[in-house]
Amino acid sequence: MSREQKAVDRARKAFETGRSKSLEYRIQQLQNLQCLFTERQKEIADAIKKDLNKSEVGAQLYETLGLEGEIGLAIRKLKEWAAPRPVQKNLLTISDTVYIRPEPLGVVLIIGAWNYPWAVTIQPLVGAIAAGNAAVVKPSEVCVHTAKVMEDLLPLYIDKELYPVVNGGVPETQELLRQRFDHIFYTGNCTVGKVIMEAAAKNLTPVTLELGGKSPCYIDKDCDISVACRRITWGKYTNCGQTCIAPDYILCEPSIQNRVIEEVKKAIKDFYTDAPKTCPDYGRIINQRHFKRILAMLEDSAIAVGGDNDESDCFIAPTVLKDVKPEAKVMQDEIFGPLLPILPVSGLDEAIKFINRREKPLALYVFTQDKKVIKRMTEETSSGALLVNDCLVHFSVSSLPFGGVGNSGMGCYHGKFSFDQLSHMRSCLIKQLKMEGMNDMRYPPHTMKKLGWARFFILKPLDLGWMGRMALLAMLVVAAAVALQRFLF
Ligand code: NAD
């Protein structure tokens, strides 16, 4: 039996003990996880520094702060989320108890990506624990140091049978994918997303795919370009552009292109000084493979800002490309690096067409003061998220579902959405054995008269007030009595 198979088996056996179903146990596990982030900040930050050259403050700001918030929210809200959810009834079921009961799915496989290795791996785990599941956690092997720290620390804080960590690369992940899970939660690129879905299909396992793609950014000429560029610069160059929701490229009218370039240049200097290479807040490309991939994208476009790089250090300076053509290399795939292409378009119409001709993005950013522009962008495009006059911040709003649409992914999470995503919403209807006469209309022999009653009981909307409900109940009792009399005699 492989190591991966053993871990899944152990997780299933632990799930079958039923201990993860207790709300107290789930809360305890979440509290323990919370402790990991308060007590082990140094180890976490050191590993992220080695993997991605993130500063200690940056690691907290972009990785663990959000996690602490999500864990706290789950602890506070779990009883409410897990409670039966009463639903509206129809006339036929008016005297029944009808509700949705969120239930654990079973064993969840969580496959994380490397760019925010804690955030994208542990956040789904918070949902899995809250929803009462067991979970096998597979951190990205690309963040070597973080994966090791995760493997070492998680078992010290949370139930290591229920939530084992399996480290490894492609062969290990593929071995995991040969096992049977009740849900697979994958974060990463679209190509591997298809591999995951194919493997899941063999067991009809549902999947959540948190993928990427090119997130466009439209700057309207009617806007504060200086503020817009500051926010875009932050969104683009944070984590050296290796953010799934980073603005991938800018669309704007040619008349404002130079102004945009100047303002982005100014913001780069403000944030990362004249020498980003020595600035503690500027990251590095994760490895040489990605370094080479990103540099190759520069080939057929004109550099307006930056462009300098150092392979030995995986450093690529914050870079802006001007007058970029849609056929340019940088426009073929998600950049996932610190290159910001600007594509001139004639205006809003062309920008909308440009966006709609491509795959649906994970995020769409619009910078404008014009309500009509906001309305048209909202109504005439589709994307995982739409932000007006800012970038990235929707990730921090737990009450917004985070996820893609079309090629940018399926399913969503954060806050209660994580809980719901990893729960089975079981439909429950509890009926009394009384009032059998009421059911006469559905039993053979079927007659037009019974059909008439069935139409009334099923189609009549039940949005009555208190008085209406009482009158209806009285009517039902009479109807039941009449039916019962006929049924019995
Ligand atoms: P990665 O290389 O770390 O891969 C992700 C996971 O897939 C890893 O755990 C890896 O072991 C596994 N994997 C890789 N190849 C595999 C294969 N052939 N078979 C089975 N498993 C395999 O990360 P990545 O894909 O380079 O991550 C970057 C991408 O992820 C970008 O496209 C980015 O936009 C996207 N992303 C999306 C989100 C989101 O929330 N939507 C968040 C972060 C990253």
Angle at 148 between CA 144 and CA 153, to 5 degrees: 150
Predicted pLDDT at 479:
61
Instruction: Report how far residue 306's alpha carbon sits from residue 319's, in angstroms, rounded to the nearest whole number.
Output: 4
The SS3 of residue 362 is coil
Instruction: Report how far residue 157's alpha carbon sits from residue 478's, in angstroms, rounded to the nearest whole number.
Output: 61
Instruction: Give residue 185 CA to ligand 1 midpoint distance, Å.
Output: 11
Predicted pLDDT at 473:
64
Looking at the fold, whether 147 and 293 belong to one and the same domain comes out as: no
The pLDDT of 315-330, averaged and rounded, is: 98
Instruction: Give residue 140 CA to ligand 1 midpoint distance, Å.
Output: 7
Q: Is 117 in the pocket of ligand 1 (CB under 6 A)?
A: no
Looking at the fold, whether 230 and 151 belong to one and the same domain comes out as: no
Percentage of the chain beyond pLDDT 90 is 90
Q: Is 111 in the pocket of ligand 1 (CB under 6 A)?
A: yes
Q: Measuring from atom 15 of ligand 1, which residue has the nearest CA?
A: 170
Structural domain contains residue 399: no
Looking at the fold, whether 177 and 227 belong to one and the same domain comes out as: no
Q: Is the pLDDT of residue 394 over 70?
A: yes
How far is CA 195 from each of CA 53, 115, 184, 198, rounded to the nearest angstrom? Answer: 30, 20, 12, 5
Structural domain contains residue 157: yes
Q: How confident is the model at residue 481 (pLDDT cuts 50, 70, 90)?
A: low
Q: Is 174 in the pocket of ligand 1 (CB under 6 A)?
A: yes
Predicted pLDDT at 299:
94
Q: Is 200 in the pocket of ligand 1 (CB under 6 A)?
A: no
222 versus 355: the higher-pLDDT residue is: 355
Q: Is 290 in the pocket of ligand 1 (CB under 6 A)?
A: no
Instruction: Give residue 190 CA to ligand 1 midpoint distance, Å.
Output: 8
Predicted pLDDT at 434:
93
Binning the chain into helix, strand and coil, the percentages to the nearest 5 are 50, 15, 30
Ligand 1: which atom is nearest the Cα of residue 402?
A: 40
Instruction: Give residue 29 CA to ligand 1 midpoint distance, Å.
Output: 27
Q: Is 137 in the pocket of ligand 1 (CB under 6 A)?
A: no
Instruction: Give residue 303 CA to ligand 1 midpoint distance, Å.
Output: 29
Number of domains, the chain: 3
How far is CA 222 from each of CA 21, 87, 226, 264, 373, rounded to the nearest angstrom? Answer: 54, 47, 12, 17, 10
Looking at the fold, whether 97 and 238 belong to one and the same domain comes out as: no
φ/ψ (deg, to 5) at 129 = -65, -50
Which of 140, 196, 332, 392 has most ligand 1 atoms within 8 Å of its beta carbon, as the pocket-test mutant? 140
Choose the final residue of a domain: 404, 425, 446: 425
Q: How confident is the model at residue 461 (pLDDT cuts 50, 70, 90)?
A: confident
Q: Measuring from atom 24 of ligand 1, which residue has the nearest CA?
A: 188
Structural domain contains residue 74: yes
Q: Measuring from atom 22 of ligand 1, which residue has the nearest CA?
A: 170
Instruction: Report how far residue 41's alpha carbon sits from residue 401's, in angstroms, rounded to the nearest whole number.
Output: 27
Structural domain contains residue 402: no
Q: Is the pLDDT of residue 489 over 50?
A: no
Looking at the fold, whether 234 and 347 belong to one and the same domain comes out as: yes
Looking at the fold, whether 87 and 177 belong to one and the same domain comes out as: yes
Q: How confident is the model at residue 462 (pLDDT cuts 50, 70, 90)?
A: confident
Looking at the fold, whether 381 and 252 belong to one and the same domain comes out as: yes
Looking at the fold, whether 7 and 78 belong to one and the same domain comes out as: yes
> For 405-441, what is each residue's pLDDT tens digit?
999 999 999 999 999 999 999 999 999 999 898 899 9
Q: How confident is the model at residue 485 (pLDDT cuts 50, 70, 90)?
A: low
Predicted pLDDT at 328:
98
In sign, the C-alpha dihedral spanning 326, 329, 330, 331 is positive
The SS3 of residue 187 is strand
Is 244 noted as a catalytic residue in this protein? yes
Q: Is 124 in the pocket of ligand 1 (CB under 6 A)?
A: no
Instruction: Report how far residue 329's alpha carbon sits from residue 413's, in angstroms, rounded to the nearest whole number.
Output: 32
Q: Is the pLDDT of residue 215 over 50?
A: yes
Structural domain contains residue 403: no
Tokens of residue 127, six digits:
């949902």
φ/ψ (deg, to 5) at 54 = -80, 145
Q: How crowded is residue 73: how many other Cβ atoms within 10 Å of its Cβ? A: 21
Instruction: Report how far residue 200's alpha carbon sits from residue 192's, in angstroms, rounded to the nearest whole number.
Output: 12
The pLDDT of 171-193, averaged and rounded, is: 97
Looking at the fold, whether 175 and 81 belong to one and the same domain comes out as: yes
What is the end-to-end Cα distance of the chain in Å, rounded?
A: 67
Q: Is the pLDDT of residue 166 over 60?
A: yes
Q: How confident is the model at residue 460 (pLDDT cuts 50, 70, 90)?
A: confident
The pLDDT of 78-107, averaged and rounded, is: 96
Q: Is 192 in the pocket of ligand 1 (CB under 6 A)?
A: yes
> For 237-262, what is each residue's pLDDT tens digit?
999 999 999 999 999 999 999 999 99
Q: Is the pLDDT of residue 488 over 50?
A: no
Looking at the fold, whether 163 and 179 belong to one and the same domain comes out as: yes
Q: How confident is the model at residue 96 (pLDDT cuts 50, 70, 90)?
A: very high
Looking at the fold, whether 184 and 257 belong to one and the same domain comes out as: no
Find the farthest-apart pair of alpha carbons in the chain and give their distance in angstroms, rounded: 95
Up-side HSE of residue 312: CA atoms within 13 Å toward CB? Answer: 0
Instruction: Report how far residue 150's alpha carbon sits from residue 8's, in angstroms, rounded to the nearest whole number.
Output: 18
Kindly report the pTM of this predicted structure: 0.94
Non-local (6+) Cβ contacts of 306 within 8 A are 268, 316, 317, 318, 319, 320, 338
Q: Is the pLDDT of residue 361 over 90?
A: yes
CATH code, domain carrying 26: 3.40.605.10
Q: Is 170 in the pocket of ligand 1 (CB under 6 A)?
A: yes
Q: Is 113 in the pocket of ligand 1 (CB under 6 A)?
A: yes
Specify the residue for token string 């690369």. Answer: 169
The pLDDT of 158-181, averaged and rounded, is: 98
Instruction: Give residue 187 CA to ligand 1 midpoint distance, Å.
Output: 5
CATH code, domain carrying 286: 3.40.309.10
Angle at 413 between CA 191 and CA 240, to 5 degrees: 60
Which of 67, 194, 211, 285 has most ligand 1 atoms within 8 Å of its beta carbon, as the pocket-test mutant? 211
Instruction: Report how far residue 55's alpha carbon sits from residue 166's, in angstroms, rounded to the nearest whole number.
Output: 27
Structural domain contains residue 338: yes
Is 35 noted as a catalytic residue in this protein? no
Instruction: Report how far residue 276's alpha carbon sits from residue 241's, in angstroms, rounded to the nearest whole number.
Output: 14
Structural domain contains residue 366: yes
Looking at the fold, whether 310 and 449 belong to one and the same domain comes out as: no
Which residue in the list 63, 70, 210, 263 is annotated as catalytic? 210
Q: Measuring from atom 3 of ligand 1, which residue has the nearest CA?
A: 113
The SS3 of residue 170 is helix
Structural domain for 263, as ranges: 215-394
The pLDDT of 111-125, averaged and rounded, is: 97
Instruction: Give residue 429 CA to ligand 1 midpoint distance, Å.
Output: 41
Q: Which helix (H) or strand (E) holds 417?
A: helix 415-421
For the CA atoms of 113, 118, 119, 120, the dihedral, rounded to the nearest 10 degrees, stands at 20
458 versus 388: the higher-pLDDT residue is: 388
Q: Is the pLDDT of residue 310 over 70?
A: yes
Instruction: Give residue 371 CA to ligand 1 midpoint distance, Å.
Output: 37
Structural domain contains residue 404: no
Ligand 1: which atom is nearest the Cα of residue 174?
A: 20
The mean pLDDT value of the chain amounts to 95
